[in-house]
Amino acid sequence: MTEIASTSPTPGRLDSALRGFLTGIGGLAHAFVIWTAVFYAIQLSAGGMTGYGWFLLLLPAVVAAGVFAVALVLSRHRTIGVFILVLLAALGLSAVFLLNTFSYVIRNLEALTGG
């Protein structure tokens, strides 16, 4: 019994460390989406940008951060496998929103850049 009590914290710590590592990887992946959105906004703003254009181009960055936070909260108490899958699904959703925004922007470029 004492042996079990003394060895039980190790798997818990390992699980916690693995979860922290995966959270970091997921955060980096979401940061990639955020950086892509910000980079595109900066590039397009070189020729001028309306307030609505800034809002629209930075919206994917905000959405990616929000989706990442929601995914972390939803999968907090789940197994490692489910945790990874939920983070991947959140990453895919962030990328989908980003590309949808790109699609809208390139079809309404003149209205957004003021040109």
Partner 1 sequence: MNSDGDDDALSWDGDDALEAQRPEARPPKSTPAATARHAPSMPQTPAAASVPASDREADADDEPQTVGTVTLLLLGILGGIYLLYTVGWILGGVGMQLPVTFTLPVPLYQGALWLAVLAPAFWFVAVLAATRGSRPWVRIVWLVAGAVLLVPWPFVVSGGGAVL
Q: Any contact of residue 106 with partner 1 (CB under 8 A)?
A: yes
Give the containing element (helix H, strand E) for 113.
helix 109-113
Interface residue with partner 1, options 18, 62, 70, 99 (CB under 8 A):
99
Query: Does residue 107 touch partner 1 according to CB under 8 A?
Result: yes
Q: Which of 22, 56, 58, 93 binds partner 1 (CB under 8 A)?
A: 93
Contact letters for partner 1, residues 7-26 (x by CB under 8 A): --------------------
Catalogue the long-range contacts made by 18-25 (C-beta closer than 8 Å, 24 or more residues apart): 18/80, 19/80, 19/83, 22/80, 22/83, 22/84, 22/87, 23/72, 23/87
- Residue in 59, 90, 61 with CA at minimum distance from that of residue 73: 90
82 near partner 1, rule: CB under 8 A: yes
Given the rule CB under 8 A, which residues bind partner 1?
Answer: 32-33, 35-36, 39-40, 43-44, 74-75, 78, 81-82, 85-86, 88-89, 91-96, 98-100, 102-104, 106-107
